[in-house]
Amino acid sequence: MKKLVIGLSVLLVLVCVGAGAYLLRPQPQAASVMTVDVKGEIVDVKDGVMTVKTESGEEYRLVFAEGVKTEEEVGAEDKIAVICTCAPDAAQPFPVTVVNSHVKPKLIEVKGLHGLVTAVEGSIVTLKEDTVLNREVKLDVSKVSNLPSGLAAEDELTVDAQYWDNHPDVPWEAVSVVRIEKPAPPDPTDPVVVDDEKPNPNALKDGDVTPKGFQVRVINGITYIDGVLIANKTYRLPMTYNPGGLTKECRKAFEEMKAGAAEDGYTLKIVSGFRSFETQYVIYWRYVRNDGQKAADTYSARPGHSEHQTGLAMDLNSLKSAFGDTTEGKWLAAH
């Protein structure tokens, strides 16, 4: 009996040691996984693999895992948001395990899109529309067959157009022109026009010399100081002065500056260039109607007093003063 107890004790010890050894041995680790959230635009679909470009510019190659699909077939220019689950060292394409959203672009047609033209640059028109979103939109008029020549800022434009609802950065496309209304010409009896015809008592006269020694010449009602054409609150241009747009010298200088900015990684574009007396008249009186003449005189030039009428001035990138705080604005200030 004593030998039996000892034998059982030894057996129990061996069992416990064996169990302990089993528990202490290295256990296999569960395979680690990572999840990747991808949200962006599909730029290509080939052989079941889609390439998605995110807003930050990153590109992912993705493929749907077994059993995962979208309600509609995916295609280029679709917007998609998905979750991929894979091993940390997995190579692309990543398997898509969850589809959060999938939106196909929709072409929206707008009949009678109306607004005020604020700028014209080639075939792209900036239109402050008041029909759909009540904001400024870029409008491509290159495919319009009935577009009359001479479309300019301050024209009222009504067109049939179309745009992609999920591509806000793509210019809207004008299909046909319904109506263009040119701004009314200046009223010669308007007090602003009449009063501005009177000589400014603070203006220097032909033959005078400025306090800094510059010669003043007045030729055909246009003031030149040291040979430079002047237009400001004191010196007025005639209603008839019109160089036909930005001068060749001005355009050449801008192109050189634009190229210099591009070399440094900045983009410059003209949003408002030459303005005729008539255009400035319309702009000024719109501000007067909205804010009153006293306020308008603090931020808008009266007709004949705008540097834009000289063909030597332009607004770049934005009409808002906050542009000065942007990287492009700071580059301009430094150059």
pLDDT digits (tens, 9 = 90+) for 169-196: 789 999 998 888 877 666 656 666 555 5
Residue 256 confidence class, pLDDT cut points 50, 70, 90: very high
What percentage of the chain reaches a pLDDT higher than 90?
Answer: 38
Read off the pLDDT of residues 71-94 as tens digits, 9 standing for 90 and up. 899 998 899 999 999 888 889 999
- In this model, does residue 242 exceed pLDDT 70? yes
Average pLDDT over residues 272-294: 83
Which residues touch 32 (CB under 8 Å, ≥6 apart)? 87, 88
For 88-134, the three-class secondary structure string (H helix, E strand, C coil) is: CCCCCCEEEEEEEEEECCCEEEEEEEEEEEEEEECCEEEEEECCCCC
Q: Which long-range contacts (CB under 8 A, 24 or more apart) does 29-32 make?
A: 31/87, 32/87, 32/88
**Which of 253, 273, 274, 278 has its CA nearest to residue 332?**
253
pLDDT value of position 324? 84
Compute the mean pLDDT over every residue in the chain, rounded to the nearest whole number.
Answer: 84
Q: Which residue has the higher pLDDT, 206 or 26?
A: 206
Instruction: Report residue 13's pLDDT band, with 50, 70 and 90 as the boundaries.
Output: very low
Q: Which of 24-28, 136-140, 144-148, 327-331 has the lowest mean pLDDT?
A: 24-28
User: Would you say residue 216 has pLDDT above 70?
Assistant: yes
pLDDT at position 93 is 93
Q: 317 versus 197: which is more confidently predicted?
A: 317
CATH of domain 107-181: 2.40.50.320
Contacts 24+ apart (CB under 8 A), 28-34: 31/87, 32/87, 32/88, 33/85, 33/86, 33/87, 33/88, 34/85, 34/86, 34/87, 34/88
Residue 18, pLDDT score: 54
CA 180 to chain centre: 25
The predicted pLDDT at position 107 comes to 87
Domains of the chain, by residue range, sit at 34-103, 107-181, 191-334
Please report which helix (H) or strand (E) contains residue 162, including its range: strand 156-164
- Look at the domain 191-334 and name its fold: Muramoyl-pentapeptide Carboxypeptidase; domain 2 (3.30.1380)
Amino acid 294: pLDDT: 87
The model's pLDDT over 101-139, given as tens digits with 9 standing for 90+, comes to 999 888 889 998 888 888 888 889 998 887 777 778 899
Confidence tier at 198 by pLDDT (50, 70, 90)? low
* Percentage of the chain modeled with pLDDT above 70: 86
Question: Looking at the whole model, is its pTM more than 0.85?
Answer: no
**Does this chain's domain 34-103 share its CATH topology with 107-181?**
yes
pLDDT band at 68 (very low <50, low <70, confident <90, very high): very high
Class of domain 34-103: mainly beta
Cα-to-chain-centroid distance, residue 257: 20
289-335, pLDDT tens digit by residue? Answer: 778 888 888 988 988 899 999 999 988 887 777 788 888 889 998 98
Give the pLDDT confidence score for residue 6 in this predicted structure.
Answer: 52
Inform me whether the pLDDT recorded for 23 exceeds 60. no
Spatial neighbors of 317 by CB under 8 A, at least 6 apart, are 267, 268, 269, 271, 323, 326, 328, 329
Classified as helix, coil or strand, 196 is helix
pLDDT for the residue 4? 47
Pairing type for strands 79-86 and 34-46 reads antiparallel
